[in-house]
Amino acid sequence: MEDETQIKTEIKKLICDSCHCEIEEGEENIFDDIPYCETCFDDQFFCCSMCEESSPEGESHSIYDTRYNRINVCENCFENHTGYCEGCGEYVHEDIYHGNSMCNSCYEESEDYNNESGFEEQTFDGVALSNKLGRYKEHTSGVEIELYCEENDNLIYTIGQKVNQRDFTIGFKTDGSLHDQNGIEIVTPPMYGKAIDTVINGICDSIEKCNGFVNTDCGLHVHIDSQKLDDRKLY
């Protein structure tokens, strides 16, 4: 009986293939049916950020994910779910690869995108507007709204009808965080007082009318004039 018990105990013992230490049952890490202790496994393998499977460190590839954050992926995911951008010279996740040798961000800066985007970028002279509003005592604020809209031309026209363009010229442009040609960023000039409500309400009503929508790609930025604020008021 003692010999049988001893044999069963020895069978349960595992030896790390790398450092040859003894591994307690339940604490082993297995790769290709080979056991490793936790320390050796962490040193020699990584978890792919796409498929979440373990792979040898030597097969790690660095790419940009859908938010343009750098991640490490395995050989299989690299070969089947990434694309090479000739614009920035980086490999990117397939969801932000446009398919014409460019990532979405680089494509949106290309002439091809400007020809296909469905609207011409419009900007305003922020310096001139700031000078124009500088005589007022009120602090000015500006807003940038990112969204998607399949009716970009109609959206631009509708905002033009809603907002007094003589006093507040609204800017329209693309943004690298928006991943297809329906993405648009609406940029207000510096505003003050009741004009803020008028412009923002006009923009929001236009977005709703033209079926604009947002998702996790989109952001909202609010800029507040601080020229007349001292350190005490800022903090």
What's residue 112's pLDDT? 63
- Does any domain span residue 107? yes
> Which residue stretches of the chain are H helix?
2-12, 38-44, 75-80, 104-108, 111-116, 126-133, 152-162, 194-209, 231-234
What's residue 130's pLDDT? 45
CA distance 22 to 190: 68
Same domain flag for 143 and 95: no
Contact indicator for 168, 179 with CB cutoff of 8 Å: no
What's residue 20's pLDDT? 92
107: closest CA among 56, 180, 1, 16?
180
CA distance 112 to 35: 53
What does the pLDDT look like over 101-157, one tens digit per residue? Answer: 888 778 767 766 555 544 555 554 444 444 444 444 567 888 999 999 988 888 888
What does the pLDDT look like over 162-183, one tens digit per residue? Answer: 775 545 678 888 877 787 778 8
Instruction: List the CATH number of the domain containing 38.
Output: 3.30.60
- Own/partner contacts of 157-160, CB < 8 Å, gap of 24 or more, are 158/206, 158/209, 158/210, 159/186, 159/202, 159/203, 159/206
Same domain flag for 218 and 130: yes
What's residue 211's pLDDT? 93
What's residue 53's pLDDT? 93
SS3 content of the chain, % helix, strand, coil (to 5): 35, 25, 40
For the chain, the domain total comes to 3
Same domain flag for 154 and 216: yes
What's residue 189's pLDDT? 82
State the pLDDT confidence band at 41, using cuts at 50, 70 and 90: very high
What's residue 90's pLDDT? 92
Same domain flag for 162 and 192: yes
Domain of residue 87 covers 64-114
What's residue 127's pLDDT? 43
